[in-house]
A and B are shown apart, each in its own frame.
Chain A
Amino acid sequence: MSALTGFLRADGRKGIRNVVAVAYLVECAHHVARTIVTKSDDPDAHLIGFPGCYPNAYALKVMQAIGAHPNVGGVLLISLGCESFNREALRASIAASGRPVEVLVIQESGGTAETVRKGVEAVARLKAAADQAPRAPMDVSELVIGTICGGSDGTSGITANPAVGRAFDRLGVAGAACVFEETGELVGCEKIMADRAITPELGLALEASVRKAEAYYTVMGYGSFAPGNAEGGLTTQEEKSMGAYSKSGSAPIVGILKPGDQPVSGGLYLLDVVPDGEVRFGFPNISDNAEIVELIACGAHLTLFTTGRGSVVGSAISPVIKVCANPETYRKLSGDMDVDAGRIMEGRGTLDEVGDEIFELVLAVAGGARTVSEALGHQEFILTYKAFDPIGPACLPLRRVS
C-alpha cells in the first residue's frame, strides 16, 4: 500500500492538511473573523464559526471536534464577548489536544479594526507554529473518509454513487474508516441496510435511526428531497434513498456515529445526522455543507461528494472531491468537477474503472494534491442548532472496553 506523509499532531493524530482555523463564536464576530482570514491571504487559513448567541451542546461538541481535527494545526477564536458560547471550554479542549490556540475578544481588544490587526498577527504566529508540525509516515488505514450526495438526479444512483461505493469497498479493505450519512436519505432502505450490520443489535439501531429520520421529516412537512431532484428524474424519497444508499458500497456496517463522535476502527460507519427528541430547531441539515461539517467533526480527512445536478461547493478544514454523475452536467460544469462518473452512462467507462479512479484520487489528495474546489478557494462552512442524545450501547460493537 502506498505510504502517505501526514502532519503529526501532539495527540498522535495525523492530518493531510495543515489548516489554521479562524472561528467566530457568534454572528456578531463573523465580519471580524472573515476580515482576518481575507487579510491573511493564506489558502490554509480557513473561516469557521457558529452564528447563534444561545448556548447549544451540539455546536460546542462539533467545534471542539473540529478544533482538534487532524487537519488543523492551530486555531484562533474570535469572540464578541457577551455571547453565550462556552469559549473557555472550547479553548481548553483545543489546548488539551496540543494544538496552539489563541483567543481574541472584540469587546476587550479595541473593537473591529484593532481585533483584525491582532488577528492577522495571531494567524501568522499560529501558521508558523503549525509549520513546525513534524511529518510522519501515514497509512491508508489511518484515513477517515466521508461521503455525501448533493443535487442528486436520476443518474446519481447509477454512476457516481455506486462508483463511490466501489471506492469505499477498496478503502475499507485497506483499513480506512468510511462514513456515509443522512438517515433521511435512507428512508426505504432501512431493512436491507440493517442486514449488513455486524451485530443484530446494531441492525436494530440502524433501523431505528431511519425511523427517527422519517418521523422528523414528516413533522417538518418535507422529505430530504429538493425540486431539483424531481427535475432530474427522481420521483420519490425512497427512490432517492436507494440511489444514495449505493454510496455505502457492500462492506459490513461496523457502527453508528453521531456528529462529533470518532470512528473506533477501520470499516464502514453510518453517521446519524437527525436530532433526537422532539422537533426543535428546524430542518436537520439545512444544506449539504451542514452535513460535510458533521462528517469533518467525525474526523473525515476528506469527503467524496457525488452530484447529478451539479454542486460546486467545497469545504473548510477538509478537501472535497466532487464526483459528477450526469454527463450533461459534467459538460456544463467540468471546471468544478474532479471525476467524470457520468461517462458510465455513455459507455466510456465502467463502475469499477471510476471506482478505481476515485480510490487513486483519494490517495493523491491525501498526499497533498489540491482538489478542484480547493483550488477555486471554496471553503464553505455552516453549523446550526441541534440536539442529540449520546449514541446507545449497540452503536459501536467494536469499541474496546477499558
Chain B
Amino acid sequence: MKPILLHPDDNVLVLAAAIQAGQAIEIDGAVMAAPQDVAVGHKIARHALSIGDKVLKYGAPIGSMTAPAAPGAHVHMHNMKSDYIASHTRQATGEAS
C-alpha cells in the first residue's frame, strides 16, 4: 500500500485505503510494516516527527506536533494540534457516549 504524498514538502502522507497493523506500506520507496490500524483519509508520518514540528500537508502548515511520531505512525488529535482554533471531539462536547 502506497499512501498519497500531496506535496513534495509534506511530512505526512494520506491513506488511500485503510491499513492494518503489520501490513506492508511504502514510504518514499522504502517498505515497512504499518505500526497500527489507521482508517482511510487519515494521515501517517512520512518520517520521524518531534514535539513542536509544523505538520505540512498540501505544502502548507496544518498544525504542530504535541508528541513525537515515528515514521508510519498515525498523526491525529493525540499527537498534533491546531495553531489557530482548538478542535473538538464528541466526548469533549459533553454528549453522552
Binding site for B on A (CB under 8 A): 153-155, 157-158, 187-189, 192, 214, 217-218, 222-223, 225, 227, 229-230, 232-239, 242-243, 246, 308, 326-328, 345-346
Contact = CB atoms under 8 A, between A and B. Distances in A.
A236 B62 contact: yes
Given A154-B40, A154-B41, A235-B75, A345 B84 contact: no
B63 A308 contact: no
Contact of B88 (A153, A192, A222, A327): A222
B40 A155 contact: yes
A172 to B, nearest CB: 21
A238 B63 contact: yes
A237 B6 contact: no
B14 A158 contact: yes
B84 A233 contact: no
A221 to B, nearest CB: 9
B56 to A, nearest CB: 10
A188 B93 contact: no
Given A232-B41, A239-B63, A223 B84 contact: yes
Given A154-B15, A230-B77, A233-B15, 19 more contacts: A153-B41, A154-B14, A155-B41, A223-B82, A227-B88, A227-B90, A233-B41, A233-B42, A235-B82, A236-B63, A236-B82, A236-B84, A236-B87, A237-B84, A238-B60, A242-B60, A308-B41, A345-B16, A345-B17
Given A188-B60, A225-B88, A227-B88, A237 B82 contact: yes
A237 B87 CA distance: 7
23 contacts: A154-B40, A155-B40, A188-B84, A214-B85, A222-B88, A223-B82, A225-B85, A225-B88, A227-B89, A230-B77, A233-B39, A235-B55, A235-B63, A235-B75, A236-B82, A236-B87, A237-B85, A239-B62, A242-B57, A242-B58, A242-B60, A326-B40, A345-B40
Contacts of A214: 84-85
Contacts of A346: 16-17
B81 A236 contact: yes
- Of residues A217, A225, A235, which shows the largest number of chain B Cβ atoms within 10 Å of its Cβ? A235
A192 B7 CA distance: 15
B85 A217 contact: yes
A239 B57 contact: yes
Query: Which secondary structure dominates where chain B touches chain A?
Result: loop
A232 B40 CA distance: 8
Interface in B77-97: 77, 80-90, 93
Interface in B15-71: 15-17, 39-43, 55, 57-58, 60-63
Nearest to A157: B58
A155 B3 CA distance: 12
A224 B85 CA distance: 9
Nearest to B64: A236
Contacts of B62: 188, 235-236, 238-239, 242
- Of residues A157, A238, A242, A243, which shows the largest number of chain B Cβ atoms within 10 Å of its Cβ? A238
- Of residues B17, B40, B61, B80, which shows the largest number of chain A Cβ atoms within 10 Å of its Cβ? B40
Contacts of A217: 85
Contacts of A187: 84-85
A12 to B, nearest CB: 42
A356 B78 CA distance: 39
Contacts of B77: 230, 235
A235 B43 contact: yes
Nearest to A214: B84
